[in-house]
Structure 1
Amino acid sequence: MKTIAVATDLTPNGNQAAYFAIQLAHAQLADLILINVFHFWPLNPAETGGDFPLSAQAMHDESQRALNHLANEVRERYGSDMAIRCLTRQGHPIPAILEVAQAEHVDLLIMSTVGSAPQSAQLMGSVASDMVPKTHVPLLLVPPSTEYAAIDNVVLGIDLDLPPDAVVFDTALHFARQFGCAVDVLCIHDNPADKDVQHRAEHIRHLMDTVPHTLTILPGSEVYDLLLTFAHRNKADLIMMLPQAHNWFRQIFVDGETQRMARLTDIPLLAIV
């Protein structure tokens, strides 16, 4: 992992993701990029009370100053001498963030699940969940209450009805090896005793030979609740998912269930693409 980028709205919750990111970057010996995207014309003018900025350049300069201040703060807090780059962009958050990620060849993109102010919480929660089906870069979503800790135990959710993309699965294994973690694979299926289901599960076991792992198949349809319960029971430091088209993990996000996203209060979630 060479380059990690973190997008922040410069609120305390957004910046918490930056604190998480710099510690992960330090552990992985990776470079770090801080990203802030501003929108010159407010998405909802009524929220500004008529207090408009003087110019787009003024907003850019203020954003850049805030990012530089954040970079200095995290260096002082964590004693890191790593190079941190600060990039400010104007536009809508998702395309602007993804454009930076592509241009900078980012290996991992980090975002908070929510901001701090009410409008920010709504916006960043929406941006984070909307980013999942659109990102071309592995995306790590960090709940604002999360403090960085070594990633020793990961829960990996796999949909046995849709075989994982080979490249995406290899990327997941690559992350597991880089973290040096054990992986608890969770599969949820209505009929876990079915021979075809068991055969697919054994195939997954075979693919994971290079990583310490367990594999569990649970019956049920409440994917989100089962996933979180399993992750807590296994003391997971991270939940990893493979949000391929039409599988059940992706449906958590594309069905407009942003509220469910907010319930993930204490376990970071990594979407592998």
Structure 2
Amino acid sequence: MKKIICSTDYSPNSVSALKYAYALSRLIKADLILLHVYPPSEVRGGVTSHGKKEALNIHHKKLKTFCEKHLEKDFDSLNISLAVVPGPNVPHSILDFIRDLDVYMLVMGACGTGTLKELIMGSTTKEMLSISPFPVLAVPAEFSFKSLDKVVYTTMFEEEDLNNIAELVKITKPFKMKLYVIHVTNKDELLTRNEMEEFKARISKRIHYDNIQFEIVFSDDVFETLKSTIEEIHPDMVVMLERRNRTELSNILHRDKVKRMQSCTKIPLLSYTASHLNE
């Protein structure tokens, strides 16, 4: 069975991520692993990296307590697996842990604006967006999972977008989710509308799902218009593709857009990568 990995540093942001990951795993019937990476040199109750076994036990108990407290259930009833690993670099330690697993997505807290720990978690999430071959779901603090009734997918009419949409429909088709496929651009209107029609035709040949709505929005300020369009739709999730196969400049600009969206949105943002889809 595919797995959802939820990485936590015990910050308020990661509490929202835990609750979202747990609800989503129950909804789509996926295994959930809660992961914590701790510094090898960190002292916990007098235990240093030299007492590895005892340090692992201490962190495992803390992770279990964190689960029970925020999910408000006895741990044995949760059907969650716990994993604690030492690592000097949190993003790369997460990547090492999940590399050989069959993963739906990695769930993390989105950027915080409060404590230092929240800001660190935010920077970890941003780095994971850059290096993870697996989809990364960034969950804002205080966000409460209710359903997956509406999902927005932002498209550039690329082949990877078709793969993404096919993956989304596989997961959510049983729930009759409404999928909004939107494209915000400042380019030529006629050319863009033709591209959208071609894209719709490609989707209809490959994906048999009626509950998809397509929309083009023309604006000189693509980022702000994208943000306001998403706010108007008020979806339960936003999905974007982390495009790594472009020219260096366009790649940097698009990645910046994904990270800016992850920093400011109040809605969970799922970021796929082209490298993952092509595996």
Which category describes the TM-score, using the shorter chain as reference length? 0.7 to 0.9
Aligned match of 1:154: 151
Q: Which residue of 2 aligns with 1:7?
A: 7
Q: Tell me, what secondary structure is at the counterpart of 1:171?
A: helix
Instruction: Please report the RMSD computed on the Cα atoms of aligned residues, expressed in angstroms.
Output: 3.2
- Partner of 1:226 in structure 2? 225
Decide whether aligned partners of structure 1 residues 260 and 105 sit closer, same or farther in structure 2, where only a CA change above 3 A counts: closer
Shift of 1:220: 2.5
Verify: 1:89 aligned to 2:82, yes or no.
no
For residues 115-137 of structure 1, the C-alpha deviation after alignment (integer angstroms, 9 at most, x for no partner) is 68632122111111121121111
Who is 2:277 aligned against?
A: none
Between 1:223-232 and 1:143-152, the stretch displaced more is: 223-232
What is the percent sequence identity of the aligned residues? 20
Deviations 1:174-205 (A, max 9, x none): 3443653111111122225233x223211221
Contact 2:136–2:270 under 8 Å retained in 1: yes
Residue deviations 1:209-242, cap 9 Å, x none?
A: 3231111111224333222211111121110111
Counterpart of 2:115 in structure 1 is 118
Q: Assess if the C-alpha contact under 8 Å between 2:6 and 2:107 holds in 1.
A: yes
Q: Give the Cα separation in 1 of the matches to 2:173 and 2:225.
A: 26
Structure 2 segments unaligned to the other structure (5+ residues): 274-279
Write the letter of the residue equivalent to 1:151.
Answer: L
Check the 8 A contact 2:150/2:237 in 1, yes or no. yes
* Contact 1:243–1:249 (CA under 8 A) maintained in structure 2: no
Please give the alpha-carbon distance, in whole angstroms, between the structure 1 residues aligned to 2:181 and 2:175. 16
- 3-state SS of 1:177 partner: helix
> Which residue is 2:32 aligned to?
32
Q: 2: CA distance between counterparts of 1:233 and 1:241?
A: 17
TM-score normalised according to structure 1 size? 0.82
Q: 1:53/1:177 Cα in 2 relative to 1: closer, same or farther (>3 Å)? A: farther
Cα distance in 1 between the residues matched to 2:228 and 2:8: 29
Shift of residue 61 of structure 1? 3.1
1:139 aligns with 2:136: yes
Deviation at 1:21, TM superposition (A): 0.9
In the TM superposition, what is the alpha-carbon distance from 1:153 to its structure 2 partner?
0.6
Classify 1:173/1:222 alpha carbon distance in 2 versus 1 (closer, same or farther; 3 Å). farther
Q: Which structure is higher in helix share?
A: 2
- Give 1:170 shift: 3.0
Q: Is the 8 A contact 1:125 1:258 kept in 2?
A: no
- How many residues end up aligned between the 2 structures? 263
Larger mean CA deviation between 51-60 and 119-128 belongs to 51-60
Q: Deviations over 1:26-81 (max 9, x none)?
A: 11111110000111347xxxxx9xx9964023543332111111333455449993
Partners in 2 of 1:100 and 1:268 — Cα distance? 23
Could you say what secondary structure the match of 1:239 adopts? strand
Q: Which string of whole-angstrom CA distances, capped at 9 and with x for unpartnered residues, describes residues 103-160 of structure 1?
A: 3322121000136863212211111112112111111110012001101111110124
